[in-house]
């Protein structure tokens, strides 16, 4: 069975969808984590799927350096 790509918690989907698009169907955002860390240059496609952070392609949860449940806030990048 293929692993699902990581997604933002559902409570952020509508908020991110309202941000200006960076590219067709992709938003570039920054996220805050529960530990106070801020992560920049997060690319989110479609319904909250995290596809890239900086230059690193994200294909599964293990590609992240954090747990998506630890996301406390999302903001547009730029």
Q: How far apart are CA 53 and CA 40, in angstroms?
A: 8
Give a yes or no: residue 53 inside a domain: yes
pLDDT exceeds cutoff 80 at 1: no
pLDDT of 18 reads 93
Give a yes or no: residue 2 inside a domain: no
Q: What is the pTM of this model?
A: 0.92
Residue-wise pLDDT tens digits, 44-77: 998 899 999 999 999 999 999 999 999 999 999 9
CB 15 within 8 A of CB 4: no
Give a yes or no: residue 58 inside a domain: yes
pLDDT of 2 reads 63
pLDDT exceeds cutoff 80 at 19: yes
Give how many domains the chain has, as a whole number. Answer: 1
Give a yes or no: residue 42 inside a domain: yes
pLDDT of 37 reads 98
Q: How far apart are CA 59 and CA 72, in angstroms?
A: 22
Q: Residue 19's domain spans which residues?
A: 10-76
CB 45 within 8 A of CB 26: yes
**What confidence category does residue 4 fall into, taking pLDDT thresholds of 50, 70 and 90?**
confident
Give a yes or no: residue 4 inside a domain: no
Write out the E strands in 34-70. Answer: 38-45, 49-53, 56-57
CB 63 within 8 A of CB 6: yes
């Amino acid at each position: 069975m293929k692993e699902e790509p990581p997604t933002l918690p559902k409570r952020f989907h509508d908020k991110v969808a309202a941000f200006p698009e960076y590219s067709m169907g992709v938003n570039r955002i920054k996220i805050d984590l529960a530990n106070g860390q801020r992560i920049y240059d997060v690319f989110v496609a479609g319904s909250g799927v995290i596809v890239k952070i900086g230059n690193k392609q994200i294909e599964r949860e293990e590609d992240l350096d954090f747990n998506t449940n630890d996301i406390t806030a999302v903001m547009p990048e730029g």
